[in-house]
């Protein structure tokens, strides 16, 4: 079974679903919206396209909150700065070392997930994630710029007469 976390197009809330190769639709657990899944996206246990948006561009990343990771580093830096301010360089270096060690331990303990560049749907429970590529800044920037252009195009379309 494959677990997917995606943003519902209707209520815009993150929801989760468990899918199998026979699954033809994704259902939002919050608003009960039915999103038809991309046909043929899951072939022989390999995800070839995103089930939500159909994009073939997927990447592997750590299944860990980036905000939490940055927060750990910032807290370690702030604590070491306090030690440094109080003329305790060994405690300062020890704090930085402990923070780096914690980061290294988390890196090896936390698993990976597959994410879509376009809609940011996250897939867990896929075997053999090594067959997918790592994050590419070029592909990410392409999708980010495309999203910006689509939003600008939506804003520039004049409203139809009689519509609010």
> Do residues 42 and 58 lie in contact, with contact meaning Cβ atoms separated by under 8 Å?
no
pLDDT score of 161:
66
* Nearest C-alpha neighbor of 56 from the set 41, 45, 39, 35: 41
- Give residue-wise pLDDT tens across range 129-144: 888 999 999 999 999 9
Return the percentage of the chain with pLDDT > 90, whole number.
Answer: 55
* Nearest C-alpha neighbor of 48 from the set 21, 8, 16: 21
Length of the chain (residues)? 164
147 in any annotated domain: no
Helix H or strand E encompassing 43: strand 42-43
Q: Are 105 and 117 part of one and the same domain? A: no
Q: Are 18 and 91 part of one and the same domain? A: no
Say how many Å lie between the first and final Cα of the chain, rounded: 45
Number of compact structural domains in the chain: 2
- Give residue-wise pLDDT tens across range 112-127: 999 999 999 999 988 8
CA distances from 76 to 86, 91, 107, 118, 120 (A): 16, 11, 17, 34, 30
Q: Are 40 and 103 part of one and the same domain? A: no
Q: Which domain holds residue 34?
A: 2-58+113-127
18 in any annotated domain: yes
Q: Are 43 and 87 part of one and the same domain? A: no
Q: Are 16 and 53 part of one and the same domain? A: yes
Q: Are 24 and 103 part of one and the same domain? A: no
Q: Are 8 and 42 part of one and the same domain? A: yes
């Amino acid at each position: 079974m494959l677990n997917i976390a995606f943003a519902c197009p209707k209520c815009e809330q993150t929801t989760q679903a468990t899918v199998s190769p026979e699954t033809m639709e994704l259902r939002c657990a919050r608003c009960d919206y039915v999103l038809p899944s991309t046909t043929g996206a899951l072939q022989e246990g390999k995800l070839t396209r995103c089930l939500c948006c159909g994009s073939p561009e997927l990447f592997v990343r750590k299944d860990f909150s980036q905000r939490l990771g940055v927060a750990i580093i910032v807290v370690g830096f702030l604590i070491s700065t306090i030690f440094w301010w109080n003329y305790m360089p060994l405690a300062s270096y020890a704090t930085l070392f402990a923070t780096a060690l914690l980061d290294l331990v988390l890196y090896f303990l936390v698993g990976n997930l597959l994410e879509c560049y376009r809609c940011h749907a996250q897939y867990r429970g896929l075997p053999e994630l090594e067959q997918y590529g790592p994050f590419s800044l070029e592909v990410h920037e392409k999708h980010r710029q495309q999203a910006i252009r689509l939003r600008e195009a939506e804003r520039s379309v004049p409203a139809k007469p009689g519509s609010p």
